[in-house]
Structure 1
Amino acid sequence: MPKSVWFLIIGMLVNTTGNSFLWPLNAIYMHDYLGKSLAMAGFVLMLNSAAGVLGNLLGGFLFDRIGGYKSIMLGILLTVASLIGLTIWHGWPHYVWFLTILGFSGGIVFPGMFALAGAAWPEGGRKAFNAIYLAQNLGVAVGPALAGIVADYQFDYVFVVNLAMYILFFFIALITFRGIDAESIALKNVVSESKRITNKAPFYALLILSSSSVLCWLAYSQWSATISSYTQDLGLGLKQYSLLWTINGLLIVVGQPLIAPLVRRWEHQLKRQLVFGITLIAASFGIVAFAGDFKMFAAAMVVLTFGEMFYTPALPTIANQLAPKGREGFYQGIINSAATAGRMIGPLFGGIMVDQFGMIALVSILVVIVLLGIFPCLIYDRPLLGDRHANNSEN
C-alpha cells in the first residue's frame, strides 16, 4: 500500500474520531442539557443531514474544479471555524447554527478523501476504498468511547476535544495531502449525469432498491436520536451509551471473518444478503422494545451491527452492477443519497412519535418499517425483466 494512502487512512481516522465525538451525543445534549423536545432535536439533526447533502454536492463540484487537496482544506477550515464557535457558544440557538455548518463542511471533506484514495492507489482497486472504510469504523469505535468518558466528567470538554482533533486533522492534511495527485479522478456530477441516461430500466431498478435504504436508515438513525435519549431516561450513563457505538465499530472491523462463510455462499445471491440483513435489523429493534439495561441494549447493537454488515455492502454492489458503463459514480450517488434521506427524516419522525406516543410505540413501528424494506429488495429487478422481455419481442 502506498505511503500516501496511509496518510489518508490516518487523516480519515482522526477525522471520523473527531466527528464521532459529537454526533452520538447530539440528541442527548439538546434534550437533556438544553431542555428541547425530541422532535426539536430531530429537526436540528435533519438540518445537519440536509446541510451534509449540500456539502457533498459542493465537495464533488469543487473537486472537479480545484482538486481534492484544496476542497478538503476548505472543508476542514470551515469545520475548525464552526467548532471554535461551538466551543465558545453551545447554547440555544447557537448550537443549531454551528451544527448545521458542521454538517455542510463535513460533507465537503468526504468526497475528496475517497477520490484522493483512488488517485493515490489506482491499481489497488477496491482495496484503497476498503482501507478508508476501515479507518472510518475504527474512528466510530474510538470516538464515542472517549467522548463518553469526557462527557461524564464535563460535557463542555467534548467540544474542546472535538476541536483539537480537527486541528490535528488540519495539520495532517496540510503536510501530507498536498502531494497526492488527484488530477486523474473525475467525480460524477449527479445533476449532469442524470440528463444522460438513455436506458431507464436499471435506473428505475435502482430507485426501487433505494426506497429500501430510505426505510432502513430512517430506523437506524434512531440510535443516535431517540434511542440515545431513551437510554439516559433508563439510567444508562453517557459512558455506557457511547460504548454501544464502540461495540458497533469494533464488530464491523473484527466480525468480518464471522460472516465470511455466508457472504461467500451468497456471493451471487445478493437478494438473500439484503433480506437476511434487514431481518436482523428488524430483530434488533424488537430487542430494544424489551431493553431495560446495558446488556440488552448491547445485545440489540450486536444484532443491528450484523444486520448492517450484510445489508449495507450489498447496496453499492448492486448499484455497481446496475450502472451502465461510465455511470458508476452517478448510481453510487443515488444509493448514497437514499441513505442520507433516511437519516434526514428519521430523527424528526422519531422525535414526533416519541413525544406523542412514547418509545415503545416508536420501536414497534420501526420493526414494521424495516420489514417493509424487504419488499423493494425482492422486486427491484422487475424493470430489468420487463426490459429484457421487450427486447426479446423486438427481436
Structure 2
Amino acid sequence: MRTKNGAVLMTNTLANMGQGLALPITTLYVHQRLHKSLTTAGLVLMVWALAMMLGNYWGGRMFDEWRQQPTYYIGGSIAIFAGLLMSLWPEWPLYAGALALYGLGLGILISAINGYLAHLQKEDKEIFNDAYWMRNIGFALSTGLSGILYAVSVRWVLILTTLLVVVALVMVKITFKEVTISPVQPAKRPQYHLFSADRQTVFSILAVCWALFITWLGYEQWGSNMSIYMIANGIPVQHYSLLFTISTGEIVLLQPLVARTFRNTYHNEKMRLIMGTIFYMASYLPIIYGNTYSFFVIGITCQTFGEMILFSTAPVFLNRFATDENRATLQSLNSMATSLASAVGPVFGGWLISLIDYQLTFVVIFALHVLVIPLLLALRAHRQVT
C-alpha cells in the first residue's frame, strides 16, 4: 500500500478500532458478568447499531452543512465521555446506555472522517481502497486484543477503547486540514435532501445502499447465528473462530492485488459492485448443500472476496454523485446501511431460523442477493459535478 495520506488513514483506522475492541466482548460481558439473557445482550447490540446509524447521519450532515473541525471534536468527545463512563462504572444498566452513547459519538466521528476521505479522493484515487485495507488490519488487531484484555479485566478493554479515540482526535488536530468547499451553481446542485435530486441519481444511490444493506445483513449471520449452526453440526467453536482469521488473512494479503486489478472508471466500478454481490450470494451455496468444515471455509472465502470488492468500491461509486457540499452526507449513507443491517441482521436471522430452519434461511438470504443484481445492472452513468 502507498503511504500517501498515511496519517489520515491511520486516524481512520484508530477511530474504527474501538468497535473491534468493545463489540466482541459485549455479548459475553452482558450475559456472563452482568447476568442478563442472550436476548437482552442482542438488544444492547441492536441499540448500539441504531445509535451508530444516527451518529452516521448527523456526522455527515454536520460536516457538510455546519463546520468540519467541531464535528470531529463533538463526535470524539461524546465517544470519549461514554468510554470513560463504561470504564469507571461497567454496571447494568449504565453499561448499555454508555455503549449506545459511544456508538452515537463514534458514528459522528467516523462519518466526518469519511467525508474528509471523500474530498481527498478527488486527488488520491486509491484512498478508499487503502482505508478499507488498513481498517481491516486494525480490526484484526483490536479483536485479538479484546479477548486477551477481557481475560484480565473488562475495564482494560474499555480504557483502550477510549484511548484510541483520544489518539484519533489528537491526530485529527495535527493532520486534518480544513477542506475548501467549491460552491456549485444552483442549477447543477443535487439537493441532499436526497429525494429532491433527479430520479436516476436517487435510484443509483439507493440501489447501492440496498446492496450494502442486504450483503451486510447476510454477513451478520456469520457473526451470530452461524456459530450455533456449526456447533450443531459437530464443528468445534475454535474452528468457527478460525474462519474469521482466514478471512482477515485473505483481506490483508489479497486486497492490494484486488485494488489494482480494476481501473477507476464508472463501468469498472459498476461491474465491481455486481461482482461483489455475486460473491456474497455464492457464499451461501456451499453451506446450503454441505455441512462439513470445508464447505464453511469455501463460504467464508467467497464472502471475503465479496467484501473486498463491494465494500472498497461502494464509497468510490457514491462519491461520483457528490459535490463538495454533500460528500460526507453521501458517505454517511454507506455507513448507515451497514449500521442498520448490524442492528436487524441477527434478529432477522434468528426469527427466520425459528420460523423455518437454518438451510432454508440461507436460501432466503441467497434469494435476497439475487434480487439485488437487477438493480445494480440498471445503474446508469452519472456526470460527476466537481
TM range (shorter): 0.7 to 0.9
Q: Aligned partner of 1:369: which letter? A: L
2:37 aligned partner, one-letter code: K
Residue number in structure 2 paired with 1:82: 82
Distance 1:371 1:30 in 2: 37
Aligned partner (choices 173, 177, 180) of residue 181 of structure 1: 177
Aligned-partner Cα distance in 2 for 1:361–1:31:
29
* Secondary structure at the counterpart of residue 373 of structure 1: helix
Residue type matched to 1:48 in 2? Answer: W
Q: Give, in whole Å, the separation in 2 of the partners of 1:10 and 1:371.
A: 36
Q: Deviations over 1:150-189 (max 9, x none)?
A: 45x45x43x523422431441453366246321525899x
TM alignment of 1:151-162, pairs within 5 A: 151=150, 153=151, 156-157=153-154, 159-162=155-158
Alpha carbons of structure 1 residues 194 and 77: separation in structure 2 relative to 1, 3 Å: closer
Instruction: Give aligned-pair identity as a percent.
Output: 23
> How far did residue 127 of structure 1 move?
4.1
Q: Which runs of 5+ in 2 are unaligned?
A: 185-189
Q: SS of the residue aligned with 1:184? A: coil
Alignment partner, residue 279 of structure 2: 280
Q: Which has the higher helix share?
A: 1
Residue aligned with 2:283, SS: helix
Task: Classify the secondary structure of the residue corresponding to 1:181.
Answer: coil
Deviations 1:363-389 (A, max 9, x none): 3322222222223223344xx89xxxx
Go from structure 1 to structure 2 and tell me whether the alpha carbon gap of 1:130 and 1:170 turns closer, same or farther (over 3 Å shift): same
Q: Deviations over 1:81-117 (max 9, x none)?
A: 3233334554554443222112111101112323445
Q: Check conservation: 1:221, 1:343, Cα contact below 8 A.
A: yes
Q: Pairwise mapping of residues 280-299 of structure 1 onto structure 2 (< 5 A)?
A: 280-289=279-288, 290-291=290-291, 293=293, 296-299=295-298
Cross-structure match for 2:13: 13
Q: Which residue number corresponds to residue 217 of structure 1? A: 216
CA contact (8 A) 1:28 1:228 kept: no
When residues 370 and 88 of structure 1 are mapped into structure 2, their CA distance, relative to the original with a 3 A threshold, is: farther
What is aligned with 1:200? 199
Q: Distance in 1 between matches of 2:262 and 2:350?
A: 36
- Report the counterpart of residue 113 of structure 2 in structure 1: 113
- The answer to whether the Cα contact below 8 Å between 1:291 and 1:297 also exists between their aligned partners in 2 is yes
Q: CA deviation at 1:220?
A: 1.6
What residue identity is the alignment partner of 2:137?
Answer: L
- What is the CA-CA distance between 1:255 and the residue it aligns to? 0.6
Distance in 1 (alpha carbons) for counterparts of 2:121 and 2:214: 34
Q: Secondary structure at the match of 1:268?
A: helix
Asked whether the 8 Å contact 2:183–2:325 carries over to 1, the reply is no
Matched ranges for 1:1-395 at <5 A: 5-27=5-27, 29-30=29-30, 34=35, 36-38=37-39, 40-63=40-63, 67-90=67-90, 92-117=92-117, 124-151=123-150, 153=151, 156-157=153-154, 159-171=155-167, 173-174=169-170, 177-178=173-174, 180-184=176-180, 193-194=192-193, 197=196, 199-228=198-227, 230=229, 236-237=236-237, 243-256=242-255, 258-259=257-258, 263=262, 268-289=267-288, 290-291=290-291, 293=293, 296-321=295-320, 330-381=329-380
Amino acid at match of 1:19: Q
Mapped partners of 2:183, 2:42: distance in 1: 31
Q: CA deviation at 1:66?
A: 7.0
Assess, with a 3 A threshold, how the Cα gap between structure 1 residues 336 and 68 changes in structure 2: closer, same or farther.
same
Q: Deviations over 1:187-240 (max 9, x none)?
A: 99xx96227845322223433443333222211222333335556776644x76
Taking structure 1 as reference, are residues 91 and 342 closer, same or farther at Cα in structure 2, changes over 3 Å only?
same
Separation in 1, partners of 2:319, 2:36 = 45
Tell me, in whole angstroms, the C-alpha distance in 2 between the residues paired with 1:123 and 1:208: 23
How many aligned positions are there?
374
1:280 offset after TM fit, Å?
Answer: 1.9
Amino acid in the other structure paired with 1:255: L
2:37 alignment partner, SS class? coil
Cα–Cα, structure 1 residues 369 and 6, in superposed 2: closer, same or farther, change >3 Å? same
The TM-score, its normalising length taken from structure 1, stands at 0.75
User: Structure 2 length as normaliser, TM-score?
Assistant: 0.77
1:303 positional shift: 1.6
> What's the RMSD between the two structures over aligned residues?
4.1
| Displacement after TM superposition at 1:53 (Å) | 1.9
